[in-house]
Amino acid sequence: MTTPTPSQIQACRATFRQLHAAGCFAIPNPWDLGSARYLAHLGFKALASTSSGCAWAHGTFDGGMALEAVLAHLRDMVAATDLPINADFENGFARSPEEVARHVRQAIDTGIAGVSIEDSTGHPDAPLFDITQGAERMRAAREAIDASGQNVMLIGRAENFFVGRPDIDDAIARLRAYSDAGADCLYAPGIHTREQIAAVVAACAPKPVNVLIGGASAFTMADMAELGVRRVSVGGGLARAAWGGFMRAARTLAEQGRFDGFEGAATGRELNQLFKS
């Protein structure tokens, strides 16, 4: 693992922005260095961190990691491959716009190519910042990026469908406000019908839209492209798939004393060859 040079970071950021200019690309979510390197090996053009996958790998819940630990993780992700990294930066680990700006500046210093900011508060009784406050926080992130002079993309997230407020009209109003506040790409995780996706793409045009496909779905990348989606992420989906295989194998051993759960496992030879390359 080698720390990238400033020129390499600049090149990654330029490549990442260009990916959003046309077409539709998959941006899968590794949760550690090994999964990042394997995804790079498969030929993906960019990667995104996952707050949930990273948290589970560290033995805590999604949202349970401290800012400094997340910044260290982002530095590792940037150094793991030569691909652009989009940071799942949760709600900026802050309430006030000033704190969001300060933390975004720290995230930029890790070498990321994009940073996603949510409008979730983390409080079940009032799970979303109001639109005005959400836009102020997004504007603060935008100003922090601009002041840094770095070509980092800002992704604005409306968390309605993730926090039990599945109101598509409100989500669209939020995304429009975040676009006006300077977000380069818009994202409403949890929308899942053609009608919802098409409505978000139309409302955010001409800016690119990210769609989350975090589980088994009848949609394909071709479907997403047809709907005008620019990029597709999987959130914690790959991490959950890995955990599912591990949990099935471990439960079979613990409860039945059997080793059937290892069927289909990668070989040590395959993994060693991958990480020697």
Triad 161, 22, 79: Cα angle to 5°:
75
What is the model's pLDDT at position 1?
Answer: 72
Average pLDDT, the chain: 97
Which residues are CB-contacts of 208 (< 8 A; sequence separation ≥ 6)?
Answer: 20, 184, 185, 186, 230, 231
Q: E strands along 52-204, which residues?
A: 85-88, 114-118, 153-157, 185-187
CB-CB neighbours of 156 under 10 Å: 32
- Contact between 230 and 185 under an 8 Å Cβ cutoff? The reply is yes
Please state the pTM of the whole predicted model.
0.96
- Contact between 235 and 211 under an 8 Å Cβ cutoff? The reply is no
Per-residue confidence in pLDDT tens, the chain, 277 aa: 788 999 999 999 999 999 999 999 999 999 999 999 999 999 999 999 999 999 999 999 999 999 999 999 999 999 999 999 999 999 999 999 999 999 999 999 999 999 999 999 999 999 999 999 999 999 999 999 999 999 999 999 999 999 999 999 999 999 999 999 999 999 999 999 999 999 999 999 999 999 999 999 999 999 999 999 999 999 999 999 999 999 999 999 999 999 999 999 999 999 999 999 7
Record the tokens describing residue 190, joined without a space: 């949890």
SS3 of residue 69 by DSSP? helix
Task: Please report the domains of the chain, with CATH numbers, ordered by start residue.
Answer: 6-238 (3.20.20.60)
- Report the C-alpha gap between 228 and 201 in whole angstroms: 6
Half-sphere exposure of 14 (CA within 13 A, CB side): 6
- Report the C-alpha gap between 190 and 12 in whole angstroms: 28
What is the model's pLDDT at position 2?
Answer: 82
- For residue 138, give the nearest of 122, 115, 160 by alpha carbon: 115
What is the model's pLDDT at position 50?
Answer: 98
Record the tokens describing residue 180, joined without a space: 């006006």
